[in-house]
Amino acid sequence: MECYGAPHVESPALNLLAKRSFVFENTYVSQPVCTPSRATMLTGLYPQSAKMMKNNIVLDPSIKTIAEMVDDEYHCAYYGKWHLGNETTRQHGFDEWLPLAELPWKIDHPGTPYHQFLLANGVQTDHVTANGDHVFSGRKRSSLPEHLTMASFLAEESARFLSEDRSEPFMLQVHFFEPHNPYTGPLNGLHDPESIPVGPAFMKQPEETSLFNRVRADFYSDKSGPHPKMGDFGEGTPEQKWRRLRAQYYSNVTLVDRAVGRILNALNESGKADETIVVFTSDHGEMAGDHGLLEKRAFYEASAKVPLLLHVPWKDGQPRVIPGNMSHIDLVPTLLELMGEQVPAHLQGVSRVPVLNETEHLLENDVYVQWNGLGDRELQAPGANLLGAIPRRSIVTSEVAEDGSVKRWKLNLCAGDQNELFDLSSDPDEMINLYNRDHYRDRVRIMAAKLRLWQHETGDSAPLPSVQ
C-alpha cells in the first residue's frame, strides 16, 4: 500500500481506505505463521494461552473468539480461511460459515462451497487424494481467471451478505487466502519485474544471524534462482527470477485489493457504511526474497510486521498515522470497546481506543513476538525442521529521545541458536546484528529482562538463554 511506502503496487481500494482510516505504523503479529497468529486475532490471547502454538491444530471449544464476546443480538459471519481446525464446521459463536478449505496450501476440501462453485462453473478437478477424493490443487486454483479465484468468490459472497436486509448489528469477517504461494495468479504481468524497487536485503543471504534463517535461505536461494519447489518463475538470471516472483506476489496483492474494493462498494450501497467499523490486516507477512527467504516464520520485519488499517466512521476526520509499536494482541479489546461491548478480564491485550482519542500513544509501547515451530510442517530445507523446533522469542521496543526522535530496537533470543539485536531506526532492513558488540550489552540486558517479565505475566514457559 502507498501508506506503507509501496506506491508501485496497484492497490487503489486499500489506498482509498487508508486515506480515511487510522494507519498503524508498526503492527506485529503474535507469531509469524498462520494458525497461532489467527488465534490471537480472534481470541485476544497469545498462542501459549490460546493453546495454538503451531499450525494445523484445533482451537479448543473453551477458548472464546470475539464472536462469543459480543452481545447475542449480533449476527456474526465468518467467510474464508479459518485454519484453526475443523475447517468446514460452523463454530465459536459464528452464525454463518463459508469455508474455503481444510488444508488450503495443499488441497481443497471437496465439501466446501468454493469447490462446488468451481464445479458449477465447469472447472475440472486435477488431483486425487489417497482416499479417492477428486480435488483442486493449489496450482490449479492459481491458474484460474480472476472471476473464479478465491478472492473474487469471497468478494461476491460478502457483497451478497451486505445486501441482505437485516435490522440486527452484524460482524462479518472475510479471510482471504491470497496473496500466498505458489506466487502466481491471473494478474501476472500487471507489475513489471524489472522496474519494481528492492531494498538492500533483497537476495542478500543473512550472515552472523540465526542458523534457522541461514539454512532456509540456502535452500530457497538455489544458485539458479528461487528453489524450483517454490514455483515456476521462468527463464533468466537468478535476479530476474526473484524479481518475477515478487512481481507476481504484488499482483496477488492487487487481486485482494480488487476484492476489498467490491466489498467496500457493497457496504456503501447497503447504507450502513457510516455505522460500520472496517479493519484490514494480515496474519503474517512475506519475505519475497529479502534475506534470501520466502514465506514467513522469521522475526524479520517483512515477516512479522503487517498492515493495520482501522476505519471508524464516527471518529473520522483527516487520516492519521499512529506511530509506535502495535500488537495484534490489542486488536480484540480495541474492537470490543469501539463496539460498546464489555472487554473480558481474561484478555491479554488492552484497548487502544485512548490512542485513537489522542489521550495515549504507542511511542514507547513494547510488543512481543514468538516462534513455536515444533511440528509446524515439513519445511523442505535440510535442517530447518530441526532448528525450527527450538522456541524463540522477540521483543520490539521504542524510546523517545530528548529531541523528540524515536529509536526502535528488536531483540531476538533463542536458547539453541544465534541471538540477534537490530537497530530498526538506523538499520530498518536488519542487515547488522549488534548482539555480540560490547557497546550494546546493557541494552540487551534490559530488553531480555522485559521479555522474561512478559513470560511471567503471560504464562510463557519457553526457555531463553542466559544473557551475560
- The CATH number of whichever domain residue 224 belongs to comes to 3.40.720.10
Q: Output the average pLDDT for the chain.
A: 93
Number of domains present in the structure of the chain: 1
- Tens digits of residue pLDDT in 293-347: 999 999 999 999 999 999 999 886 667 999 999 999 999 999 999 999 999 999 9
Give the per-residue pLDDT at 321: 95
The model's pLDDT over 240-256, given as tens digits with 9 standing for 90+, comes to 999 999 999 999 999 99
pTM of this structure: 0.95
Q: Give me the pLDDT at residue 109, please.
A: 58
Q: Answer yes or no: is 398 within a domain.
A: no
181 pLDDT band, cuts 50/70/90, is: confident
379, pLDDT greater than 80: no
Q: Say if 256 falls within a structural domain.
A: yes
**Mean pLDDT within 464-468:** 89
Question: Does residue 220 sit within a domain?
Answer: yes
Give the pLDDT score at 265: 98
**Average of per-residue pLDDT across 133-148:** 89
| Residue 107 pLDDT level (bands cut at 50, 70, 90) | low
pLDDT score at 105: 46
Does 106 have pLDDT greater than 70? Answer: no
Give which of 465, 418, 367 is closest to 32, Cα–Cα: 367
Q: Are 218 and 226 in contact (CB under 8 A)?
A: no
What domain range includes position 208? 2-64+178-361
How confident is residue 365, by pLDDT bands cut at 50, 70 and 90?
very high
| Amino acid 302: pLDDT | 97
DSSP string, 196-217: S---TTBT----SS-HHHHHHH
At 111, the amino acid letter reads: G
Which of 33-47, 75-89, 215-229 ranks highest by mean pLDDT? 33-47
pLDDT over 90 percentage in the chain = 78
Mean pLDDT for 134-162 is 94
Is residue 377's pLDDT more than 80?
no
Residue-wise pLDDT for 402-450, tens only, equals: 888 899 999 999 999 999 999 999 999 999 999 999 999 999 999 999 9
Question: How far apart (Å, rounded) are the C-alpha atoms in residues 89 and 67?
Answer: 15
